[in-house]
Structure formats: C-alpha cells, structure tokens
Amino acid sequence: MPYEGPLPPLDVRADFWSLRFVEEIAEVYAVRKNVAQPLAVSTDRGAMATVHADGGLGYAATSDLSPPGLVRALRQALAWARATARLGLFDTRTLPRPAAVGRYDAPSAGAARPTRREWYEMLAAESQAAGFDPRIVDWEAGIEVREATHRLVTSAGGDVVQRYRFVMAGASATAHAGGDTQTRTLAGERAICQQGGPEILARFGYAGCGRRVAEEALELVLAPDCPSGTMDVLLAPDQMILQIHESIGHPLELDRILGDERNFAGTSFVTPDMFGSYRYGSELLNVTFDPTIPEELASYGWDDEGTKAERVHVIERGVLMRPLGGAVSQARAGLPGVANARADSWNRPPIDRMANLNLEPGTSSFDDLVAGIARGVYMETNSSWSIDDSRNKFQFGCERGRLVVDGKLGQVVRNPNYRGVSASFWRSLTAVGDAATRRVLGTPHCGKGEPSQIIRVGHAAPACVFSGVEVFGGDAP
C-alpha cells in the first residue's frame, strides 16, 4: 500500500475532499475433476478521490498513485463537483465531514497461512474423494484468499487504516442420471466466506466435504421431486441468509428507499414513515446490523465514508426500527441509520450496502424445530433467487429438501422451491433456532448500483420455521 505514512502535499480548493486507497491481493486455487486449475493471482491497487465544492459532489478514481496522479484525480473530482453543483440532488455543504482516526485489523490478518502446495494438496484430496461414481459428472474444490488494506484520508483530519484477510471456500459436485442433473455444494457458492485464516475451514468441516457433497448430489438425482402445497418450511442457515439478504436487507437500504436504485436494483416496499412502528415480522424476529463479529465477512471499524461502525437493531421483536443507510443517506432522509456506506473497490463510490445483517438466535433446538412441524419441508442451501423490484414477491429454490412429517425428518426431495411476499412472509415466522443452529455465513457477490458494484456481505442466522408457505418442486423429466 503506497503512502503508509503522510500523503504528499495536495492543493485542493474545496469544501471537503477525501482520498480512499484500496489495495487487494488475491490468490485463487482450485482443483476440478482431479486437475489442478491454473493458479490465478491478482493485485488491484488504486484510489478514489471525492470532492465537495460549491454544494456539488464529484469523484475520480485512478490507479495512478503517484503525486501527480492523485492531484489529477482530485482536480477531476473537483471539476465534476463544480460542473454539477447547480444540478445536484442535495447540497453537500449540509453533509457531515468525517474526521475519524483509527485502525482496524481482521483476526489473524498477518498470520502465517498454508503454502501453495499445501492448498493444492488439500483441494486435490477433496477432489479425489468426490469422483467416486460415474454418475458424478463434474466436481470441484476451491479456495480464495484475499488480503486487503483500505485507507481513508479526509480533509477534516480523518485517517483510518483497515486491514482484512478473507478466506472463501467452496466445493461442489454434479450428478447426472435418469435425465436429471443435480448439483450439491458446501453451503452454496462461496457461502463459506469469513475473515481470518485456515481455521475457517475447520470451522465448517471442510475436510471430507468432497465426498459428502458428491454423495448428496447422487442422493438428490435419484430422489423424487419436492411436493407441492401449502405447508411449513424449516430453512437451514444457508438458505436463511438468502432470505434475510433479499427480503430484509435490500428493502431496508436507505438509498433504495430514497429512489437512487429505481432504474437498476429497484425500489422498496418500505417507506420512511414505517420506521419505529411497522410490524415487519412476528415477535420472534430480531435483526441486527452487526459489524463487530470478528470473523464475519463484512466486519469493519469504519465504513467508506468514515462513520464508525456499531451494532444496532434494525428490527426488534418484529418491529422495524431503522434503515440501512450511511451518513449521506441519513442526512438526505432525516432518519437514523448505520455505518454502511461502502464501495466494492477504489473505482466505485460508496453507496448504502448491507455489510453484516444477522438474524438473532431464538430458543428452539434443531430437534424442537423439526418436532413442531406436522407437514413441511426442511430446505438447505440456496440455489435460485428471484424477487420483484420492490423486494416483495419472491421465489427461492434450494439444493436439497427433506420432508418433515409428524415432527420427524423424512425422505430427501429434489428441487425444493417456495414463494411468498416479504411483507407477510416474516409474520409467519413461528420458531427460531437457538445459537447451536446458527452459522456465520455470507456472500462475496452482492450486486447493486449504477455504475454497478459487487460487494462482500455477511449474514449470520439460525434455522427458522415459517408456517403456511407455498411450496413446490420442479418439472419431472
């Protein structure tokens, strides 16, 4: 990371300016069908200059981090701020000017990690174990290790340095038989993604996962289709994270509520008047914005506008409390929010993102959750997601289902799908699993924004039961 210390002198005649440096170095290892895939290394490095001038806002991103390069970027940002000041959506002179100073280090950010050979040997072992049957037609195990340093310097005296190490792991196997094809993964594509080191893999039982996902893929391709009807669903954490993400996270993003995303990612059925009174879900629903869980994917000390990150409830006992909006959105809306103004890299401006959004555990053991269901389906691992642009009418699919009959887990079924409406679905939450059922997961692939951005988000969730849900399967071959 250039400029670990003081920046070169920068002359900017502006109300406010900032420079946000990002350096990310990644290595991707994969073994597919017992063939080591070519090593892929990346080094990305650049800076985003943001300037407030005459009430306008401009930015310029550059990978030229020389002093002249930074000056050029600041001048471009200043020119954009001035050129659009009279056309601006809001007056930047009313915005806070962050001055935070501090440092954040992810767990074991600098600790030793396995060598390349060790990574490949581990993945090769999983791959060898997965290809045990000719009906397994494709399989892969992969690891991505990404180290990042982010620094935000502001003209108000702010200087925040944050260091991260992300480990993202996956394994998948695809079985084909009888005209059908089924893929099973380890908690979804890259859902195992946390901050830290190789201890993350042990936490998720990565060793042995190759054989496990292959066996389950084979089981699925031979299983009957999920039945159709209105029934209870018990959603495993690796489906709950998608349910939270799409039908709580996105609709609560304040920039969507303010209309910024209406041309692309969409609007929200949530309106500003709902906060503090709207019943979003049953009494069992408690959702927090929590950047303080060290291993969770989007934990950090400050967001990309320099607002200190803290844990808060966004839904408490089912009641909507506050939106997911950073300092700029909060000022525009006159609402409280959270520290979630984030950019996916140096080349995109911060917008309101989810970061870590977690459903707090309840009191039911997994056995209790199952025992409380007379007729339903236990669904694991998201495989399909679709929701309307107001984040209301949704349809989600999972990799694996198991029938639940009279309080007992039964037959495995394939293509389990369900659909519903966010505004009513969360009110049908009838049981929430305890801490033993909770998993800290996430996704590195949340897309949003114009220009578009893909960002890392964390979700921790227990298993949960919803009643009276429309369930269905696939087209039988």
- Site residues for other proteins, window 123-182 (CB under 8 A)? 137-138, 153-157, 159, 174, 176, 179-181
Residue 114 interacts with other proteins (CB under 8 A): yes or no: no
Residue 450 interacts with other proteins (CB under 8 A): yes or no: yes
Of the ranges 59-67, 227-235, 398-406, 461-469, which one interacts with other proteins (CB under 8 A)? 59-67
Residue 374 interacts with other proteins (CB under 8 A): yes or no: no
In 3D space, the residue among 296, 300, 422, 278 whose CA is nearest the CA of residue 357 turns out to be 296
**Host H or E run for residue 27:** strand 16-32
* Alpha-carbon gap, residue 7 to 22, rounded angstroms: 15
Smallest gap from residue 219 Cβ to other proteins (A) = 16
Smallest gap from residue 296 Cβ to other proteins (A) = 24
* Alpha-carbon gap, residue 471 to 349, rounded angstroms: 40
Length of the chain measured in residues? 477
Query: Which 60-79 residues touch other proteins, going by CB under 8 A?
Result: 60-66, 69, 72-73, 75-79
Q: Which is nearer to other proteins, 17 or 166 (CB)?
A: 17
Query: Which 305-324 residues touch other proteins, going by CB under 8 A?
Result: none
* The pair of three-digit structure tokens given for residue 279, joined into one six-digit string: 């019943």
Residue 83 interacts with other proteins (CB under 8 A): yes or no: yes
Query: Which 238-277 residues touch other proteins, going by CB under 8 A?
Result: 258-260, 262-264, 266-267
Q: Which is nearer to other proteins, 79 or 274 (CB)?
A: 79
Decide: 327 and 97 in contact? Cβ < 8 Å: no
Residue type, 241: I
* The pair of three-digit structure tokens given for residue 188, joined into one six-digit string: 């979804």
Smallest gap from residue 474 Cβ to other proteins (A) = 3
**Host H or E run for residue 64:** none
Write the binding mask 181 to 210 for other proteins: x where contact by CB under 8 A, - elsewhere: x-x---------------------------
Smallest gap from residue 250 Cβ to other proteins (A) = 11
Name 326's bridge partners: none
* Residue-by-residue DSSP string for 327-365: HHHHHHHT----S-EE-SSTTS--EE---BEEEPP-SB-
Query: Which 18-47 residues touch other proteins, going by CB under 8 A?
Result: 19, 35-46
Smallest gap from residue 394 Cβ to other proteins (A) = 8
Q: Which is nearer to other proteins, 266 or 458 (CB)?
A: 266
**CB-based contacts of 46, cutoff 8 Å, min separation 6:** 21, 22, 61, 62, 63, 65, 345, 346, 347
* Alpha-carbon gap, residue 386 to 419, rounded angstroms: 9
* Strands 101-105 vs 159-177: parallel, antiparallel or unpaired: parallel
Name 357's bridge partners: 289
Decide: 395 and 242 in contact? Cβ < 8 Å: no
How is residue 403 annotated by DSSP?
E
Write the binding mask 380 to 419 for other proteins: x where contact by CB under 8 A, - elsewhere: ----xxxxxxx--x-x-x-----------------x-x-x
* Alpha-carbon gap, residue 324 to 406, rounded angstroms: 40
> Under rule CB under 8 A, how many of the chain's residues touch other proteins?
102
Residue 115 interacts with other proteins (CB under 8 A): yes or no: yes
Smallest gap from residue 56 Cβ to other proteins (A) = 8
Smallest gap from residue 97 Cβ to other proteins (A) = 10
Q: Which is nearer to other proteins, 211 or 419 (CB)?
A: 419
Query: Which 330-349 residues touch other proteins, going by CB under 8 A?
Result: 345, 347-349
Q: Which is nearer to other proteins, 29 or 164 (CB)?
A: 29
Q: Which is nearer to other proteins, 101 or 374 (CB)?
A: 101
* Alpha-carbon gap, residue 311 to 285, rounded angstroms: 16
Smallest gap from residue 244 Cβ to other proteins (A) = 17
* Alpha-carbon gap, residue 169 to 189, rounded angstroms: 8
Smallest gap from residue 258 Cβ to other proteins (A) = 7
Residue 424 burial (10 A CB sphere; 0-12, 13-18, 19+): exposed
